[in-house]
């Protein structure tokens, strides 16, 4: 018998008890690229998985400066005051800002992070979107297992990260500030189509009237789209994160959306769909990694590339040749006995 993984079992137990330091360690393991850490993280997550699934997974995206950080801090405080435990994670593959986008510059956010019912973790450093998204998904599961009833995942909205976040949450929220004139400026239509909730922030002072107009405009625009699910028609609300106004209405809407999805069986269906897509993404990424790590394939690729450049070979034919060799090579490794027959 191999030695039992005492460390994982103890760490899992502490995470399940809601120990924040244990949760932080668990996520450090999840984010580590060391093979032994990855193995440990996998066995840890296997222990945590049965204790996940209860949380409200809330995604936040929005234009730069719309007030995402201010909003997350405000709603976080609002929810903590109601007795909720709130975790905040981020997907930011660009890692432009050191330490990630959440904690970097916000002293109020740092104050919130001190509360025992709050767990805040910046985006894992660097890597591909796929890698960052995977680690954030797994970190979110660890937070759920630690009893965080609300898990907020923020994206700074670079490239495909919004789609990735939409694909790991129950309620995908688009946060906007009222702009001048063309309210739909700068927001990709595809992102609006993903939104379960649109919040027009900065509905205060001089911007109040513009915020109300923007809300009407978005409501009209959303009516032209077919809702992603028959169980829920996306709503548009205004709020002021700065003055902490409209937050309870936002939370009530999130709870109503949750209830509607749950009642229609759509929450389970959505999560199942997400899990399936995650699996496929992992398989594709794993295949690519294996291919890139295979020296024979790398050599062959270099040869094929020059053939293709010189138009002596079609790219499709070259790709097939490479894959056939790669897959055959892999298969041979799985059958060492057969290679001995003469
Ligand atoms: N008037 C008003 N200002 C706000 C509100 N929320 C945020 N702000 C201000 O808008 C600016 C940007 O806020 P952030 O919370 O940093 O916005 P963000 O979306 O996180 O910005 P990035 O992370 O840079 O994309 C700050 O000066 C905030 O004080 C609000 O409800 N009303
Ligand atoms: Mg921010």
Spatial CB neighbours of 65, under 8 Å, sequence gap ≥ 6: 177
| CA-closest residue to ligand 1 atom 8 | 67
Q: What is the mean pLDDT of residues 89-98?
A: 71
Q: Is residue 187 scored above 60 in pLDDT? A: yes
- CA distance linking residue 195 with residue 186, whole number of Å: 15
Closest CA to 44 of 63, 27, 65: 27
CA geometry: angle 317, 319, 320, nearest 5 deg: 65
- CA distance linking residue 242 with residue 26, whole number of Å: 33
Average model confidence (pLDDT) across the chain: 87
| CA-closest residue to ligand 1 atom 17 | 67
Q: Is residue 262 scored above 80 in pLDDT? A: yes
| CA-closest residue to ligand 1 atom 3 | 202
Q: What is the mean pLDDT of residues 66-95?
A: 91
Closest CA to 201 of 53, 91, 73, 16: 73
Q: What is the pLDDT of residue 223?
A: 82
Per-residue CA distances from 46 to 2, 39, 145 (Å): 18, 11, 11
| CA-closest residue to ligand 1 atom 13 | 67
Which residue is listed with tokens 């924040």? 20
- Is any atom of ligand 1 closer than 6 Å to the C-beta of 246? no
For the CA of 243, the nearest ligand: 1
Do 154 and 90 touch, CB atoms closer than 8 A? yes
Do β-strands 197-200 and 235-238 pair in parallel, antiparallel, or remain unpaired?
parallel
Per-residue CA distances from 10 to 22, 27, 135, 199 (Å): 9, 15, 21, 42
State the pLDDT confidence band at 101, using cuts at 50, 70 and 90.
low
For the CA of 67, the nearest ligand: 1
For the segment 128-177, what is each residue's pLDDT rounded down to a tens digit? 888 888 899 999 999 999 999 999 999 876 668 888 999 999 999 999 99
Percent of the chain with pLDDT over 90: 67
State the pLDDT confidence band at 336, using cuts at 50, 70 and 90.
very low
Q: Is residue 339 scored above 70 in pLDDT? A: no
Residue 67 CA to ligand 1 center (angstroms) comes to 3
Q: What is the pLDDT of residue 2?
A: 47
Atom of ligand 1 nearest to the CA of 205: 1
- The predicted model scores a pTM of 0.88
* Structure token digits, residue 329: 């090579």
State the pLDDT confidence band at 95, using cuts at 50, 70 and 90.
low
Q: Of 50-59, 73-82, 179-188, 207-216, where does mean pLDDT reach its minimum?
A: 179-188
Spatial CB neighbours of 341, under 8 Å, sequence gap ≥ 6: none
Q: What is the pLDDT of residue 260?
A: 97
| CA-closest residue to ligand 1 atom 30 | 202
Q: What is the pLDDT of residue 168?
A: 95
Q: What is the pLDDT of residue 100?
A: 47
Residue 103 CA to ligand 2 center (angstroms) comes to 9
Q: Is residue 335 scored above 50 in pLDDT? A: no
More confident: 262 or 101: 262
Residue 58 CA to ligand 1 center (angstroms) comes to 19
* Sign of the torsion angle spanned by Cα atoms 118, 124, 125, 129: negative
For the CA of 61, the nearest ligand: 1
- Is any atom of ligand 1 closer than 6 Å to the C-beta of 65? yes
Q: Classify the phi-psi angles of 335: left when phi > 0, otherwise alpha if psi is within -120 to 50, otherwise beta.
A: beta
- What are 255's strand-pairing partners? none
Q: What is the pLDDT of residue 70?
A: 92
More confident: 260 or 65: 260
For the CA of 102, the nearest ligand: 2
For 140-162, the DSSP string reads HHHHHHTT-SEEEEEE---TTHH
Do 233 and 208 touch, CB atoms closer than 8 A? no
- Is any atom of ligand 1 closer than 6 Å to the C-beta of 238? no
Spatial CB neighbours of 128, under 8 Å, sequence gap ≥ 6: 93
- What are 87's strand-pairing partners? 119, 151
Do β-strands 171-176 and 86-91 pair in parallel, antiparallel, or remain unpaired?
unpaired
- Is any atom of ligand 1 closer than 6 Å to the C-beta of 242? yes
Q: What is the pLDDT of residue 113?
A: 84
- CA distance linking residue 18 with residue 329, whole number of Å: 47
- What are 71's strand-pairing partners? none
Q: Is residue 109 scored above 80 in pLDDT? A: no
Residue 88 CA to ligand 1 center (angstroms) comes to 17
Q: Is residue 99 scored above 50 in pLDDT? A: no
Give, as one character, the DSSP assignment of residue 229. B
Q: What is the mean pLDDT of residues 174-181?
A: 79
What radius of gyration, in Å, describes the C-alpha atoms of the chain? Answer: 23
- Is any atom of ligand 1 closer than 6 Å to the C-beta of 61? no
Q: Return the H-helix or E-strand segment holding 198.
A: strand 197-200
- CA distance linking residue 257 with residue 64, whole number of Å: 26
- Is any atom of ligand 1 closer than 6 Å to the C-beta of 202? yes
Q: What is the mean pLDDT of residues 112-139?
A: 87
Spatial CB neighbours of 140, under 8 Å, sequence gap ≥ 6: 55, 57, 87, 89, 151, 153, 168
């Amino acid at each position: 018998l191999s030695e039992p993984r005492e460390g994982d079992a103890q760490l899992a137990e502490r995470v399940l008890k809601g120990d924040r330091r244990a949760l932080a360690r668990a996520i450090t393991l999840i984010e580590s690229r060391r093979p032994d850490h990855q193995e440990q993280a996998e066995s840890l997550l296997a222990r945590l998985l049965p204790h996940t699934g209860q949380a409200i997974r809330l995604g936040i995206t929005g234009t730069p400066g719309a007030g995402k950080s201010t909003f997350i801090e405000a709603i976080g405080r609002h929810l903590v005051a109601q007795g909720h435990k709130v975790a905040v994670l981020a997907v930011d593959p660009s890692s432009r800002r050191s330490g990630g986008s959440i904690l970097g510059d916000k002293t109020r956010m740092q104050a919130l992070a001190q509360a025992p019912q709050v767990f805040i973790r910046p985006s894992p450093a660097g890597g591909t979107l796929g890698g960052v998204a995977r680690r954030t998904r797994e970190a979110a599961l660890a937070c759920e297992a630690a009893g965080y009833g609300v898990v907020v995942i923020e994206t700074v909205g670079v490239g495909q990260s919004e789609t990735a976040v939409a694909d790991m949450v129950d309620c995908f929220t688009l946060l906007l500030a009222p702009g001048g004139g063309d309210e739909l400026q700068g927001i990709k239509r595809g992102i609006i189509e993903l939104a379960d909730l649109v919040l027009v922030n900065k509905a205060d002072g001089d911007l109040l009237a513009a915020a109300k107009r923007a809300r009407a405009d978005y409501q009209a625009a959303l009516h032209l789209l077919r809702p992603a699910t028959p169980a829920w028609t996306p709503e548009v609300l205004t709020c002021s994160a700065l003055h902490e106004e409209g937050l309870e209405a936002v939370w009530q809407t999130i709870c109503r959306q949750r209830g509607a999805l749950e009642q229609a069986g759509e929450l389970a269906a959505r999560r199942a769909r997400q899990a399936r897509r995650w699996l496929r993404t992992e398989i594709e990424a794993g295949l690519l990694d294996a291919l890139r790590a295979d020296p024979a394939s790398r050599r062959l690729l270099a040869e094929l590339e020059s053939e293709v450049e010189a138009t002596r070979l079609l790219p499709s034919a070259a790709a097939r040749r490479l894959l056939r060799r790669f897959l055959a090579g892999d298969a041979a490794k799985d059958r060492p006995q057969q290679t001995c027959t003469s």
